[in-house]
Amino acid sequence: MNVDYFTRWFMDSQARAFHRLGAPMDFIYRFDLTPGDPLKYRLLFMVNLFYLTSDEVSRLREILRNSGATVVWYYAPGFVTPEKLDLAQMERLTGFRFNLITAPGPMLIQARFDDDHDHVDLQFGVKSPQYPRFGVKDQDAMALGYWTDCHEVAFAWKEVEGWNSVYAGSAPLPVEILRWLAKRAGAELWSNQPDIVMATQDAAMIVATSEGARTFTLPKPMASLDGDEMRQVYDLKMEMGEVRIFSRKPIR
């Protein structure tokens, strides 16, 4: 695989879906991650951590231990080391055990699961054949999806030392799955629709990605620019592309 492949699908395309999560997100460099971050962010996406040293893997595992956070690892986290391609290091980082699939195949995953949060039955990824790929072989992991050309688990969830590890063999994860992951991880979704939401400590903005009604729930009371009283929950009827802004400070 070349850099353009990862830039297009794992970063650019995935970023567009991230912004439709229905909640604000922060973007943090791996080396800026602190022990307090997994306590603050209930859901973390490790999109391009393919190259790591042994010390970096140990630091990440220590930061995550007993945090209760949910971490989503993409494709081959920690597989590339300064010395070699290392499946054992990838397993140590994620807590999963893997089969190495050397035959080229489509980077397409069929996700199918149903629980109290959502019903999901869809394909995601990219049709172009690539290699290597990886199949989760843990019996105690919850299988969420399979490679479309073989019965190898390509999307899975597992509890590891007081945190939740999620492996996704391809990208981009669609917004339906992102929202399911957020709900299962205990991350608060501000809109009950897949809207664009951005916020600071004292202000918030929602951009409707569809026409119709939605409930917008803020973490603390704010007033809208339309002149409403300070409230925490707003029932909104919006046009596609419409923007609403809210603030903690008095609006004149």
Token readout for 148 is 């479309």
SS (H, E, C) 223-242: EECCCCCCEEEEEEEECCCC
**How far is Cα 193 from Cα 150, in angstroms, rounded to an integer?**
34
Looking at the chain, the whole-number percentage of residues with pLDDT higher than 70 is: 98
Looking at the chain, the domain(s) classified CATH 2.60.40 span 196-247
Looking at the chain, the domain(s) classified CATH 3.40.50.880 span 3-185
Q: At what angle do helices 87-94 and 54-64 cross, to 10 degrees?
A: 20
pLDDT of residue 227: 76
Bridge-based pairing of strands 231-238 and 212-224 is: antiparallel
143-153 per-position pLDDT tens digit: 999 999 999 99
Lowest mean pLDDT among 4-8, 62-66, 93-97, 110-114: 4-8
This prediction's pTM: 0.94
The CATH number fitting domain 3-185, selected from 3.40.50.880, 3.40.50.720, 3.90.1150.10, 3.20.20.80? 3.40.50.880
Residue with tokens 């603390």: 220
Three-class DSSP category at 157: strand
Assess contact for 48 and 75: CB atoms under 8 A: no
Q: What is the CATH number of domain 196-247?
A: 2.60.40
Assess contact for 60 and 32: CB atoms under 8 A: no
